[in-house]
Structure 1
Amino acid sequence: MSEKIVVGVDIGGTTIKVGICSSEGELLQTYEGPTEVEKGSEAVCNNIAQYARHIVEQSPYNWDQVEGVGIGIAGFLDIPNGIVKLSVNLHFNNVNLKAFLEDKLQKKVLVNNDANVAALGEAWAGAGRGVDNCVCYTLGTGVGGGVIVSGKIVEGFSCMAGELGHMSIVPDLEAIQCACGKMGCLETVSSATGIIRMAKDAVERGDRTSLSFVTNIMAKDVIDAAKAGDEVASRIVNRAAFYLGKSLAAVAVVLNPQRFIIGGGVSNAGDFLFDQIREVFKKVTPDIAQEGVEIVPAILGNNAGIVGAAGLIIRS
């Protein structure tokens, strides 16, 4: 085989996921191994290098065919230099991941924020395929995001572009403090954590809801209850969708993307959630800024990070 391949790496606090991608974004093979954070940053970096080598050795390809290795990692980064300034989950502090891996692997290595990388994965080979300009939201424990313009990740002056979950969008009288320290962030109402918080608050207030009988409330419980007609749960999901729709409207008049892609666990609510988001977006966005704009679910799931990491090499 003479075709070129790319290795993508998605680093999590528990597991490191590695994949081989073709130059067109097709995920050809995957592998995962333990992160072993407790052994220290050097051990984690060595694991990344080992798993990247291992997946190629176990494939029909050879190391000479590898164009480069892309890395997605959560944390505060110096993206141009591939330095992880701080990653709380991994206990990384000023780790020059790019230099370490290029020395170990003797290949080009590019490092980027995990949310940016997931967005690039969807843009390159997922729900954004064929679209040059798109914005991706990930609705999980928090609200992650990534902005793709002309096929490239928008990183911003200090590598903080695309922090969509920290748009201050909830009015002061309704706002609570976000984990970032500021008030009224989108993340406080539209993440799984925000939905769970609102549900628990309702139960503690004594609101009449079927959620009172759920021992350990999860976002899915709230969504399922809303679908079943529970009024309290419906209000919570409506609120999450409302502020999501408003945030899309704000982004639309700044960036005018062709497509919004929404992924993460909360997005599994499907059309029940998406229809509400689209309705709000249509209501509050100027006609010319919403014309032809699509709001669609992500399709790569847990593989978005691997594919997007590989895409860093192809799209650089």
Structure 2
Amino acid sequence: MKKALYAGIDIGGTNVKVGLCDAGGRLLHKLEGPTGGAEGLHEAVRRIDQYVRRAVDEAGGHWSDVAGIGAGIPGFVDIHSGVVALAENLGWEQVPIARILSEQFGKPVAIENDANLAALGEALHGAGRGVNHLVCYTVGTGVGGGIVEARRLVHGFGGMAGELGHLRIAAEAEAAPCNCGLRGCLETIASATGIVRLAREAIGRGEGTTLAGLDLARLEAKDVFVHAEAGDGAAVRIVRKAADALGLSMAMAAAVTNPQRFIIGGGVSRAGETLLTPVREAFARYAAEPLRRQVDIVQAQLGNDAGIIGAAGLGRSLSGMPS
């Protein structure tokens, strides 16, 4: 009897990641390639189809083995209609991507917000194993979030629950514009983009910082963390500001969802304890004692694989198997 394969697709503004999992959620094969989004929707879909089929071939499988496909989208997703309401980094608005991909593959496709799928991956196979109530942050170019209760995602009315990056955190006087159209959102401060913005502003004000010696065009969030670890005052302040914003947002989330665990993933989480320690301190300051009791804040375990593993789990649910 052939083993069923479940394809997980993590569609990013720059790259698409594809993974194949078995029925137990074990990642069997993965690959990555450019999205081609700047060349239009048709080209992006063509590439996604090519990557998935290539992954199946490289894994030694057959297209008939693929029993379910899930896809994660970085934006506002209506999971009921399969329509991407807005994905700024892809240039997609009101795109019926589930139907388009299903027609391309000749198989049913389910879609989700990419951070939701990263949360599901961590909940089932990563840092959330054994925990029934958790909130997962994906802190990268933006800030995404996912809420998991008893191994299931919390979607809300329109499927957009967990948009933690768009909690309004900044005071009016320092509220920077966000891609969502609002100002002062969490991701304007705590994302990699937000951290780099704060660093450039500090350099522009003439603060005495070792960051000023770097190529500003190539400045990355990881540079800020490296200089903070070396004791640079401006870099330390920026890291603490980002951590404070994350801790405050967690206190807000705790008041609504009362989770047992917060998981921080995404590229910024690679800073490890340089980020996690001040986040825990900020959460302890902002959250009421009953809401922070026995709550832990940990780093994600699956790294860049969380989204594709979660997406494959979504694909398994299409086949009638539990995710």
Q: Report whether the alignment pairs 1:71 with 2:60.
A: no
Pair 33,222 (structure 1): closer, same or farther in 2 beyond 3 Å: closer
Measured after TM superposition, the shift of residue 93 of structure 1 is 4.2
Aligned residue in 1 for 2:320: none
Question: Between the two proteins, what is the percent identity of the paired residues?
Answer: 50
Q: Report whether the alignment pairs 1:240 with 2:228.
A: no
Aligned residue in 2 for 1:61: 61
Measured after TM superposition, the shift of residue 144 of structure 1 is 1.5
Across the two proteins, how many residue pairs are aligned to each other? Answer: 316
Please point out which of 210, 227, 236 is paired with 2:229: 227
Matches within 5 A, 1:202-281: 202-216=202-216, 217-281=219-283
TM-score, normalising length: structure 2 = 0.89
Please point out which of 269, 286, 289 is paired with 2:288: 286
RMSD: 2.2
Residues in 1 aligned to 2:50 and 2:270: alpha-carbon distance in whole angstroms: 34
The one-letter amino acid paired with 1:308 is G
Residues in 2 aligned to 1:123 and 1:14: alpha-carbon distance in whole angstroms: 26
Residues in 1 aligned to 2:126 and 2:227: alpha-carbon distance in whole angstroms: 30
Please point out which of 312, 315, 319 is paired with 1:313: 315
- Could you tell me which runs of 5 or more consecutive residues in structure 2 were left unpaired when the two chains were aligned: 318-322
Matches within 5 A, 1:113-192: 113-192=113-192
1:240-285 per-position Cα deviation (integer Å, ceiling 9, x unaligned)? 1111111111111210111111012221211121111111212322
Pair 66,193 (structure 1): closer, same or farther in 2 beyond 3 Å: same
Give the SS at the match of 1:261: strand
Residues in 2 aligned to 1:34 and 1:195: alpha-carbon distance in whole angstroms: 25
Residues in 2 aligned to 1:193 and 1:47: alpha-carbon distance in whole angstroms: 27
- Could you tell me which runs of 5 or more consecutive residues in structure 1 were left unpaired when the two chains were aligned: none
Give the SS at the match of 1:144: strand
Residues in 1 aligned to 2:40 and 2:171: alpha-carbon distance in whole angstroms: 42
Residues in 2 aligned to 1:298 and 1:252: alpha-carbon distance in whole angstroms: 18
Give the SS at the match of 2:159: coil
Measured after TM superposition, the shift of residue 168 of structure 1 is 0.9
Measured after TM superposition, the shift of residue 302 of structure 1 is 1.5
Pair 58,195 (structure 1): closer, same or farther in 2 beyond 3 Å: closer
Residues in 2 aligned to 1:266 and 1:185: alpha-carbon distance in whole angstroms: 17
Give the SS at the match of 2:172: coil
TM-score, normalising length: structure 1 = 0.91
Pair 12,142 (structure 1): closer, same or farther in 2 beyond 3 Å: closer
Aligned residue in 2 for 1:41: 41
Aligned residue in 2 for 1:16: 16
Pair 231,103 (structure 1): closer, same or farther in 2 beyond 3 Å: closer
Contact kept, 8 Å, 2:78 with 2:160, in 1: the verdict is no
Q: Report whether the alignment pairs 1:4 with 2:4.
A: yes
